[in-house]
Amino acid sequence: MDIPLLLLSSFIIAVTGLFFFIWSLRKGLLDPHAAAAKVIFSSGEIGRVEEPAATAAKQRDLQRAMTASHCEPDATELQARLAADASSARPAFVLLGFAVFWLLVASLAGLTSSIKLHEPDWLTQYAWLSFGRIRTIHLNAVAYGWAPMAALGVALWMMPRLLKTRLEGARFAVWGAVLWNIGLAIGIGCIAVGLNDGMEWLEIPGQVGILFAVGGAMIGLPLVFTLRRRKVEHLYVSVWYMGAALFWFPVLYIVAKLPNLHFGVEQATMNWWFGHNVLGLFYTPLSLAAVYYFLPKVIGRPIQSYNLSLIGFWCLAFFYGQVGGHHLVGGPVPEWLVTLSIVQSIMMIVPVVAFSLNQHLTMRGHFAALKHSPTLRFVVLGGMMYTVSSIQGSFEALRSVNTVTHFTHFTVAHAHLGLYGFVTLVMFGAIYFAMPRILSREWPYPKLIAVHFWLVAIGFAIYFVSLTTAGLLQGFAMVDASKPFMESVRVTLPWLQGRSIGGALMTLGHLAFAAHFLLMALARGPQRSGAAILRPLAPTA
């Protein structure tokens, strides 16, 4: 079999299919018409804001900021939505609870590993606290703990709302989450004692990974059952993203963990095929699904262009599959494989621009709403970080850029821009919106949400700028043949200290978030009017 010809053919087919899809939208052959963007709203609900994370006063300010007339939504449809929320409350809460726990574990492990980069003699008496192990614990607690539990918990809660029906088979999701987290706990323990498979993102032993496969399948079952009983004719774009993510992840993980299949150079190629695709074809679709739901719901108006949202989805599906190869620039892999990866990385600008334009046009004239909506601050900032991260990643794939940035802290900064700046911030916003509906009570301390936002926003800004600067200085020092290798280490030290300062602020923000989550779950603190019942708002002329 001629592999280069096969991959080139698949690329040409993908481009041809994309142009046919765009042409069909222009001609109306597959036109979902503007009404498709409105399926997430009940009758009479467009123009009415929805922000459960805000106080009553802030909701009224938010409604005035939108300057749109509205009427009260249909009571029957709202009762059906409340029933849908109730059906997903238990599994969503279980997954989100696990997510918050792993967020704390990942934060503490990450801060420890960050400090060790400039204080290598700190905490050296225990093997599991060595940099190689604690950094790997941090990665896996994020990659298989916080990120998937938060994203799947939000997806379970969104799906009944999007399909306007009750969640079917919720118990499967609960037990699936338990199995998944047992597997993760065992996997983290294996890494701590020095047992792992030796590939980044795939360190957890394959025997333990079976629990991920079974648990993940059980979590996905209710989404499949509910989809079959949907009461909507059109599937909103968020459903497409969630469904694709639930299909892509098991394919990626099973292929990557098949025993006695990948060796040598092929193993390295597979490693970055998985490592990049798990971000782009699992976390990213689930996060984009959340943005496309929560942004229009909060401001009470549909997304500006539904066609753009579909173009973004299909471009992601067509072009993302081979972008991981650019991590192997200069490695012992076929040149055509790296070139194909670079081309597809640049092509990823298309779906990113489609999403960015859609978000900006939807928010245009309404950015003042960010002052009043905690959910919107996290989601909109996360969406912006998706744009920056993706554009940066596309140009980072170029050989001329990769020569400087490869094997430096720049790559680590870029990875955090995607998984933290985009995915994590969007999940924070989604959780702030969903939890009052899940528990039928409001967040007890609204000001703590603002404290959380500013701690993580400022902390991440310091973290990202410090690590990016360190990476560029490191890269330029390494390509300069007149400088010794240790010079590339020395120039990074003050910036690595800045990274730890930023990471400490982010960890404080996570502690505030986790404490607030726990207080809400235990019904502690001030009890305010229930957010699960939509408040009547005075109509705005």
DSSP 34-100: GGGGGTTS-TT-TT----TTS-HHHHHHHHHHHT----PPPHHHHHHHHHHHHHHHHHHHHHHHHHH
As a whole number of angstroms, the distance between CA 285 and CA 317 comes to: 10
As a whole number of angstroms, the distance between CA 541 and CA 66 comes to: 11
As a whole number of angstroms, the distance between CA 413 and CA 499 comes to: 10
As a whole number of angstroms, the distance between CA 385 and CA 379 comes to: 10
The SS3 assignment for 12 reads: helix
Residues in the chain: 541
pLDDT score at 21: 60
As a whole number of angstroms, the distance between CA 336 and CA 529 comes to: 61
As a whole number of angstroms, the distance between CA 494 and CA 509 comes to: 23
pLDDT score at 80: 85
Paired tokens of 258: 């098949």
Instruction: Please report, in tens digits, the pLDDT of each residue of the chain (541 residues total).
Output: 455 665 566 566 666 666 766 665 565 544 444 678 888 988 878 888 899 998 888 888 888 888 655 566 777 888 888 899 999 999 999 999 999 999 999 999 999 999 999 999 999 999 999 999 999 999 999 999 999 999 999 999 999 999 999 999 999 999 999 999 999 999 999 999 999 999 999 999 999 999 999 999 999 999 999 998 998 888 999 999 999 999 999 999 999 998 888 888 889 889 999 999 999 999 999 999 999 999 999 999 999 888 889 889 988 988 898 888 888 888 888 888 888 888 889 889 889 988 999 999 999 988 999 999 999 999 999 999 999 999 999 999 999 999 999 999 999 999 999 999 999 999 999 999 999 999 988 999 999 999 999 999 999 999 999 999 999 999 999 999 999 999 999 999 999 999 999 999 999 999 999 999 999 999 987 765 554 444 444 444 3
As a whole number of angstroms, the distance between CA 411 and CA 472 comes to: 10
pLDDT score at 30: 46
As a whole number of angstroms, the distance between CA 172 and CA 161 comes to: 19
Contacts of 541 (CB under 8 A, 6+ apart): 69
Contacts of 173 (CB under 8 A, 6+ apart): 91, 94, 95, 156, 218, 219, 221, 222
pLDDT score at 70: 58
**What torsion do the CA atoms of 323, 329, 331, 335 make, to the nearest 10 degrees?**
80
CB 367 within 8 A of CB 326: no
Q: Within a 10 A sphere around the Cβ of 7, how many other Cβ atoms?
A: 16
As a whole number of angstroms, the distance between CA 187 and CA 195 comes to: 9
Picking from 344, 472, 337, 340, the residue whose alpha carbon sits closest to that of residue 412 is 472
pLDDT score at 36: 80
Paired tokens of 432: 């702030």
Q: Which residue has the tokens 């996905």?
A: 220
Q: What share of the chain is helix, strand, coil (3-state, %, to 5)?
A: 75, 0, 25
Contacts of 16 (CB under 8 A, 6+ apart): none
CB 102 within 8 A of CB 178: no
As a whole number of angstroms, the distance between CA 100 and CA 181 comes to: 12
As a whole number of angstroms, the distance between CA 325 and CA 345 comes to: 9
CB 328 within 8 A of CB 268: yes
